[in-house]
Amino acid sequence: MLSDLWNDAVRALGDVLSPHGPAVQAAKSYAPSDYSIHFFLQLAVIILVCRVVGWLGKKFLGQPQVVGEMIAGVVLGPSLFGLLFPDLQLAIFPKETRNVLYVGAQLGVGLYMFMVGLTLRLDHFQSKAKSAASVSAAGIIVPFLLAALITPMLLGVPGLFAPRISQGNATLFLGACIALTAFPMLARIINERGLANSSLGTLSLTAGAFDDATSWCVLAIVLATFGGGPGVAVIAIGGAVLYTGFMLLYGRRLLAPLGRMVEEKGEMSTQMLAVVMMLFCASCFVMDAIGIHAIFGGFLLGACMPRGLFVEELKRKVEPLAVVLLLPMFFTYSGLNTRMDMVNSVELLLIALGILAVSVVAKFGACYAAARLSGEDNRTALGIGALMNSRGLMELIIINIGLQKGIIGPTLFSILVLMAIVTTVMATPVFELVYGRKARESGELDALPQDGERRPLARAA
C-alpha cells in the first residue's frame, strides 16, 4: 500500500506541468490554473537566467545588463535550451502559455519606455534639433536605398520571401528591418552608460524613436498591400500623427496639475499613482490599437509628464519592478520564437554576412556621416553611429510579424535574427572605443557602475 502511494505521488509530481496538473490527467486543454502554474515557474527561470547571463556578459565581455538579457532570451528558446533539453524546455514554456507571457512582455517594455520618456531632456532636443533630424533622415533613407539594391538578388533565392510577394513590398519590409534602431535596447544602453542626461543620449534617443516609428508605419503599408487592406496603413499613420500632435501640443499642459499636486503633498500618493498608471495603459492602448506599438504610447506619455518631484517619486515606485521583473519577459518571449540553426549552407551564410554588412553601413555609416555634416565633432558622430546601429528586440518583433503574416520565410527570419544580435552586441564595445572611454577619462561621463550596481534612470530636467 505504501509503495502504491509513493508511486502515485511520484506520478502526480511528474504531471505538475501537464495540462490541468496532476488532478485531471485526461484533460486536453489548459485551464486558468495551468497558466498560473507555468507563469510563476517561467518568471523564476527568466529572472535567474537573465541575471546570470547579464552578469557574465558584463564581467567577461563588458556588455551592459540589457544585452545579456537579450542573449538570455535566445538561450531560453529553441536555439540552445530547446536544442539541448527539448522536453524540459517545452514543459516549462509550452506554446499554449506564450500569450500570457506576451502580455507581460508588453507591460514590461511599455513601462520601461514610459520611464525613459520621463528622463527625456527636451532642452537638449531643441538645441540639437537639426542634428537629430539629419541623423534620423539618414538612418531611414540610406537603409531603404540599399534594400532596393539587394532585394532583387534575395528574391531569386527560394525560401527567403513569400513566393507571391512583390518586389516593392519585399524592398519596403527589408528596408524597415535595416532602418530599425532598437529603441528599448538603445534606451537601456544609454542609461547604463551614463548618457541619459547628455545631449548625445537625447539626440540618439530622439532619432531612434523617429526611425522606429517610421519603420512601423512602413510595415503597416506592407501589411495593407499584402492583404491587410488600405485601412490598416491609414489608421496607423494618420492615428500616430494625430495622437502625437495632440500630446505634444496639449499633453504637457493638461498633465501639469498632476505635478503640482505631488509638489504640494511632498510625495506621490497611491491615488495619484493609480491615475498615472491608468493614463499609461490608455496611451499604450491607443498606439497598439492603431497598429504602431504600445511602447511608443508609453514613451510619448512619459515625455509629456511633469518634471521635478513627480518624476523622482514615480521612478522610485515603478522602475525597480519594471526593470527586474517585467522587462526580462520581453526578451524571453522574442527569444522563444528564434531559431539559429536555419542558416545551414555556405550560400545562406554569405547572404547573412552580406545583409549584416549592408545593415552596418546603412545605419552606422549613414548616421555618422549625417551627424558630421550637421556640425557634430568626429568623436560624437562616431558615438551616435555606434548607438544607432543597435537593433535588438525591436528587430525581432518586426520580423516575427513578417514571419507570422507570411511575408518572409523561416530562413530569412533566422538571418535577420543573426543580424540583430551581432549589431546589438557590437554597439557597446564600439561605442566605448570611439567615445565612452575618452569621455570617462576626461570626466565628461561618470565611471561605469561596478558589478552588482545598477545605475538609476537619470534625473529629469
Residue spans of the domains in the chain: they are 97-441
pTM for the whole thing? 0.73
Q: How far apart are the first and last CA of the chain?
A: 72
Residues 6+ apart with CB under 8 A from 30: 19, 20, 96, 97
Burial of 67 (0-12, 13-18, 19+ CB in 10 A): buried
Q: Is 38 within 8 Å of 17 (Cβ atoms)? A: yes
DSSP structure string for 32-63? HHHHHHHHHHHHHHHHHHHHHHHHHHHHHH--
pLDDT digits (tens, 9 = 90+) for 95-137: 888 888 888 888 988 898 888 788 766 655 565 666 777 888 8
More confident residue, 314 or 35: 314
Residue 22 has pLDDT above 70, yes or no: no
Whole-angstrom Cα distance, residue 159 to residue 307? 51
Residue 294 has pLDDT above 70, yes or no: yes
Which range is least confidently modeled, 7-21, 200-214, 248-262, 310-324? Answer: 7-21
Q: Is 158 within 8 Å of 180 (Cβ atoms)? A: no
Q: What is the pLDDT of residue 27?
A: 41
Beta bridge partners of 161: 408
Fold observed for domain 97-441 = Na+/H+ antiporter like fold (1.20.1530)
Q: Is 338 within 8 Å of 397 (Cβ atoms)? A: no
pLDDT digits (tens, 9 = 90+) for 240-278: 889 988 998 999 899 999 999 999 888 899 999 999 999
Q: What is the pLDDT of residue 432?
A: 84
More confident residue, 1 or 444: 444
Helices (H) and strands (E) in the chain, counts: 23, 0
Residue 456 has pLDDT above 50, yes or no: no
